[in-house]
Amino acid sequence: MAPMRRVVVSALVILAVLGCLEPVPTPAGEEDAQAPDAPSDSAVVAANTHLARGRPWYAYQALRPALADSARRTPAVVFLAATSASRWGGWREVERLLHDVGWADSLFNGEGRVLLIRAALERDADSVAAARAALAVEFARDRVARGERLVLLARALDRRNRLDSSRATYLRAAEDLPDIRDWLLLRAAGVAPSRARRDSIYELLSTSAARGRVARLEASTRERHGDISGAATAYERMGDSLSAMRLRLARARGTSRLALRRRLMAMVRAGHSYEAQRAVEILDGAGVRLTRSEELTVARMAGARGLWSRAATAYGRALRQSALSAPDRYAYGIALIRLGRDRTAARILARIQPPSPLAPAASYQRARAFLGARQAGSARTVLRDLIRRHPRDTLAGAALVLLADLAMDERRDADARSALRQAYTRFPSSSHAAQARFRAAVLAFAAGQHRTAANELDSLLALHPGADDGMAARYWMGRALLAIGDTVTAMARWRTVAAEYPLSYYGMLAAERLGERPWAPPLVPDAFEEIDELTEAMSRVDHLEKLGMDSEARAELEALGDAADSSSARLLTTAYLMREHGLVTRGVQLGWRAIRASPSADARAYRLVYPIVHREAIILESRRRNLDPALVAAIIRQESGFNPRATSGAGARGLMQMMPAVGRAVARSIDVPEWRPDLLYQPDINLQLGIRHLEAFISRYDAPYALAAYNAGESRLVRWLRRPGARDPELFVERIPFTETRDYVRIVLRNRAMYRALYHW
């Protein structure tokens, strides 16, 4: 094929192609004007410091007084504020700051115009973005600046479906930006409607990572240009039969459509998670109306895979046509409970009655649904009826445990202990027996019956040596023995726990009881082998992300992860670079691989699995609020794993998993401009709001109590504090009735100990 020819793109030609676009003001001043000297304004100094340390929200906040003062509102202040706003996603603020300035092209190397281009792209104003980009190319002072502006122009042209102009612009940008040349060539191929033109570009690729993307790009490009048959064939050749069926189903009619539907339903019935889920998505996307039998097949698969919303929808559709069987009705109820639709779940489960063998389980889950709906009286009635009607069913034991929870909530510990003793006495081999024994022993300890508690914990360990509560039982047996004066045996118990479970919550408590520091790996500074190939790859990732080429950046990262295990040094360095780049989840995964590969792993590997990102912002905001930054880091690790884009099923967002309503309320108190819920995905905004929210609890409660309130709500904490022994923090944690909250508090406290050991604060 012919070599790539240089394509000259003139701003005038582009503007002519685009037609009528937003007028772009002529820049004031000389075309070669340089940025003015940065003023000595303290706000600018502070903002530059914040930006250099990855805190754009703080930088923007520091500049607000200067922006409001006409004597201080210089071009440098405005440009720095716009730069800061762009980095926390405040694109409307960028537009407001820069849209009518006369120096967007003449000062700061024309980067003001670049920000305006990106702002237009972010708000889908593609014509405006293209006009701005065409002008910005003419003002570029070097090849890199020109290449980056050409990429933005090409993106805008692509989105306006000006494919020939977009392809030519991508090709020119590829000449100016050799580090990401192959990815730009692929972009150019992706907008070329002719297979011959695409092939001529594919021949220019020089890296294996880019060549490995050709097959998928070819399939998606054919799809984009309407060659559905060719795209489907291309997907099949690369082994993606589901994408091929998606395309064919959209066009198929009659027997062909029926045959495709049957193939997809066969995948759903087979139940392999990825294929089954994709098959359902394809059927839904094509608007296929399933039969009742097919809806039930989908519902059962979705329920088995934890796809609760799809399962509930399918069961609901099937139920509207005719009654459900008891197993399907039960599964429907479980899905509704998982979705928080407890009242509906209780009604659905109430229809499962004897002689159905599922009647006891349905009653138990119905009681849990009533508890979720805060109808404790109804839950108690259902549980007692279950015990009366099914006295020999092991679920009667589970009902006794749940009744004990209700009794404890009403400060009837004696009744709770009686119910727990009945549970493990009547059903000694059930899955609930060990848990019931442990919780009964904790109630005895809370009542000051320490010898009874020690004996019952000893029985638990003898009867259930492999129980999940065994580690907790050993720790609390130590506390019970200490209370009755047997210090030697207590210390022996704690030494066992600390040695056998060093990374656990109880291992941490045991070490503290022994007067020792909790376990930590050998402390060494972070020093990783420099591997040029990795450094260059991460530089490409940064460049691609700067230009909005996220899919290409992901491809680079996937290639790095695939090659990470070639040596222990490469594994650690790859994980470190992932973490430093903000790809914390990938870094954690690689860090655990490094630890599993080397039992004597030092602190470098453990800092990868207990990472700290945005460290300075965490320390700064924590100290402003008199909080322990190690505790804040521990919370973030548990809440989001340091993923700023994390979103929970309930809708909590960002690093500290704030609900939008809570974020809005806190944001009002600090005057956040242009508030919108997606600002919670911006790390330093989320940190500022989340730490302020946490402060409301920490200022009134010690850490275990504050964490319980942060996770479950302060109203529940107030109720739990009324329980006997609640002023003992360790006892309080054991008596939290919600498994999720109890585990959350334990994990965060253990995380805090690790963060204190691994980092200097």
Please say which residue of 609, 644, 666 terminates a domain. Answer: 609
pLDDT in tens, 649-678: 778 999 999 999 999 999 988 777 778 898
| Percentage of the chain modeled with pLDDT above 70 | 95
- Could you tell me if residue 276 is inside a domain? no
Q: Which CATH number belongs to the domain containing residue 638 in this structure?
A: 1.10.530.10
Q: Which CATH number belongs to the domain containing residue 591 in this structure?
A: 1.25.40
* pLDDT value at residue 582: 79
Whether residue 673 is found in the same domain as residue 551: no
* pLDDT value at residue 3: 39
Whether residue 591 is found in the same domain as residue 721: no
Whether residue 681 is found in the same domain as residue 582: no
Q: What is the DSSP string of 266-285?
A: HHHHH--HHHHHHHHHHHHH
Please check the confidence at residue 38 and state whether its pLDDT lies above 80.
no
Q: Of 225-229, 295-299, 420-424, 676-680, which gets the smallest average pLDDT? A: 676-680
pLDDT in tens, 339-356: 999 999 999 999 999 999
Q: What is the mean pLDDT of residues 186-204?
A: 96
- Between CA 178 and CA 213 the distance in angstroms is 18
Burial class (CB in 10 A: 0-12, 13-18, 19+), 323: exposed
* pLDDT value at residue 11: 36
Whether residue 576 is found in the same domain as residue 721: no
pLDDT in tens, 505-547: 999 999 999 999 999 999 999 999 999 999 999 999 999 988 8
- Could you tell me if residue 598 is inside a domain? yes
* pLDDT value at residue 160: 94
pLDDT in tens, 120-179: 999 999 999 999 999 999 999 899 999 999 999 999 999 999 999 999 999 999 999 999
CB-CB contact of 93 with 87 (8 Å)? no
Please say which residue of 609, 638, 666 terminates a domain. Answer: 609
* pLDDT value at residue 24: 37
Average pLDDT value over all residues in the chain: 91
Token pair in block for residue 62: 């520091």
- Could you tell me if residue 218 is inside a domain? yes
Q: What is the mean pLDDT of residues 447-451?
A: 97
Q: Which residue has the tokens 């929200």?
A: 57
Whether residue 589 is found in the same domain as residue 631: no
Total of domains in the chain = 3
Please say which residue of 223, 248, 271 terminates a domain. Answer: 223
Q: Considering only CA atoms, which of 59, 173, 223, 379 is closest in space to residue 165?
A: 173
CB-CB contact of 660 with 680 (8 Å)? yes
- Could you tell me if residue 319 is inside a domain? no
Query: What distance, in Å, lies between the first and last C-alpha atoms of the chain?
Result: 60
Please check the confidence at residue 554 and state whether its pLDDT lies above 90.
no
Q: Which CATH number belongs to the domain containing residue 121 in this structure?
A: 1.25.40.10
Q: Give one word for 641, left, alpha or beta, with left for phi > 0 and alpha for psi -120 to 50.
A: left
Q: Considering only CA atoms, which of 358, 538, 446 is closest in space to residue 725?
A: 446
729 Cβ partners below 8 Å, 6+ apart? 702, 703, 704, 705
Whether residue 587 is found in the same domain as residue 687: no
- Between CA 671 and CA 57 the distance in angstroms is 12
Whether residue 682 is found in the same domain as residue 665: yes
pLDDT in tens, 83-127: 999 988 889 999 999 999 999 999 998 999 999 999 999 999 999
Please check the confidence at residue 31 and state whether its pLDDT lies above 60.
no
Whether residue 558 is found in the same domain as residue 706: no
- Could you tell me if residue 574 is inside a domain? yes
Burial class (CB in 10 A: 0-12, 13-18, 19+), 206: exposed
Whether residue 81 is found in the same domain as residue 212: yes
Please check the confidence at residue 58 and state whether its pLDDT lies above 60.
yes
Whether residue 648 is found in the same domain as residue 725: yes
CB-CB contact of 367 with 386 (8 Å)? yes
* pLDDT value at residue 540: 94
Whether residue 49 is found in the same domain as residue 112: yes
In which domain, by residue range, is 565 found?
532-609
Q: Of 71-75, 268-272, 755-759, which gets the smallest average pLDDT? A: 268-272
Kindly calculate the radius of gyration of the chain based on its CA atoms and give it in whole angstroms.
Answer: 31
- Could you tell me if residue 730 is inside a domain? yes
- Between CA 70 and CA 65 the distance in angstroms is 10
* pLDDT value at residue 88: 85
The length of the chain, given as a count of residues: 761
Confidence of residue 40 (pLDDT cuts 50, 70, 90): low
- Could you tell me if residue 402 is inside a domain? no
Q: What is the mean pLDDT of residues 604-612?
A: 95
Q: What is the DSSP string of 611-679?
A: --SSHHHHHHHHHHTT--HHHHHHHHHHHTTT-TT-B-TT--BTTTTB-HHHHHHHHHHHT-TT--GGG
* pLDDT value at residue 34: 45
- Could you tell me if residue 252 is inside a domain? no
Whether residue 549 is found in the same domain as residue 680: no
Q: What is the DSSP string of 93-156?
A: HHHHHHTT-S-TTTSGGGHHHHHHHHHHHHTT-HHHHHHHHHHHHHT--SHHHHHHHHHHHHHH
| Percentage of the chain modeled with pLDDT above 90 | 81
CA angle 674, 679, 680 (to 5 degrees): 140
